[in-house]
Structure 1
């Protein structure tokens, strides 16, 4: 195993949380393939540079807080990145139920204020609000309940 490549990969992982797939792709860019790549990834896991669970927690918490993503979109993205069900579950636990509800509430309030200026038709406003929240990855039932509360 090439120590220099291992150091380079460790620095790559230390900069920000990475999945095994991301590291494997980066190693391929550095012309490291097959068993050697697997050995390096295994060593990075042993040295705690790579942790799927830690990645999932950081990713889920960050996307929820910074981009106001809903759980459906976050789960889909974590699945797409090839994380285990356990890691995804642990990542989703980073998002508290109360914070999740209030996050959706804030999101809908802001969008509602914007739409009241642009869209005179109440029915269309409601549809656009729902489409916006669903696009962010929030659950349909929760979105419609919250919209009903807001428009009372």
Structure 2
């Protein structure tokens, strides 16, 4: 038997949404989905979203910056993977670009190098071309751009 979802009135949902947003940065879409889960209807959901924006509990730009910072500094993801994550959360393109531009270029290259140096010893491949292919594939899987991967590998004699 499926556990029924709690249904809140607009006021209770608003209070709950405030604490949901206060706990960590959220995208508008995450909050919207949560409000629908709590049984609110379209008009109520949009009213609560508007109120949360006006009281600064919900700030899409702040969310995008926090998301980029966390995924880059903690998870060590590349820009492609971060951008996909933000698109899934329906963050506007302009905000995605602005947030991605907050990543320092030299730090970004250093993260690519660190990931390559960490992974390379574990690739058990004798053929240097196959070994490089596996390393590049791994780095692309982490969301790094192929041109930057090539640049970093060449500059550090890893290619």
TM-score with structure 2 setting the length: 0.88
Q: Answer whether contact 2:10 2:40 (CA < 8 A) is retained.
A: no
The offset of 1:85, in angstroms, is 2.0
Match status 1:136 vs 2:135? no
Q: Which residue of 1 aligns with 2:46?
A: 38
Within 5 A, what are the aligned runs for 1:70-81? 70-81=78-89
1:51 and 2:50 correspond: no
How far did residue 93 of structure 1 move? Answer: 2.4
Equivalent pairs counted in the alignment come to: 150
Compare the two structures and name the one with the higher helix fraction: 1
- The alignment partner of 1:67 has SS state of coil
- Structure 1: gaps (5+ residues): none
Compute the RMSD of aligned alpha carbons. 1.4
Matched, 1:3 2:11: yes
Question: Which whole-Å deviations, capped at 9, do the CAs of 1:94-142 have from their partners, x for residues lacking one?
Answer: 2111110101010111111222xx2222221101000011111111111
Distance 1:63 1:15 in 2: 18
TM-score, scaled relative to structure 1: 0.92
Distance 1:119 1:26 in 2: 47
CA distance in 2, matches of 1:58, 1:83: 13
CA distance in 2, matches of 1:41, 1:151: 49
**CA distance in structure 1 between the partners assigned to 2:13 and 2:75 by the alignment:** 34
Contact 2:68 2:100 in 1 (8 A): yes
The corresponding residue for 2:118 is: 110
Runs of 4+ in 1 over 4 A off after TM superposition: none
